[in-house]
Amino acid sequence: MSPELGEVGEEPDPRFTFANERTFLAWNRTALALIGGGLAAAELLEFDIAALRLLVALPVIALGTVLAVLSYRHWERSERALRLGSPLGYSNLIRLLAIGVALTGAVAGALALVDVLSE
């Protein structure tokens, strides 16, 4: 098990710590927006088949949940690197978000098209 963050390396410049924290909070605002958007889709979309709403809503909610968890791991890894004077490393969060939103948009568009054509 890794040592506690406060016991690792040296205290970094507070500006870097605060910047890391702001980035973490931005990722969590995005995660919260995804979860809220998924809940809104579940309640407000009007498809003839109710299950179609869930096909749009649940992946968005899941993406927001995963993003929230991974953003904490990214924050902790970055903070540890700052304290040790190591390179910050690469994050896959941006790729995950871009792919997730693009897939959700494609699926939602396809479902909307299917719904309209089935009338």
pLDDT tens-digit series, residues 18-65? 999 999 999 999 999 999 999 998 888 887 777 888 888 999 999 999
Q: Largest Cα–Cα distance in the chain?
A: 65
Domain segments of the chain: what residues? 34-117
Q: How far is CA 13 from CA 4, 10, 16, 75, 85, in A?
A: 18, 9, 6, 16, 11
pLDDT tens-digit series, residues 60-95? 999 999 999 999 999 999 999 999 999 988 888 899
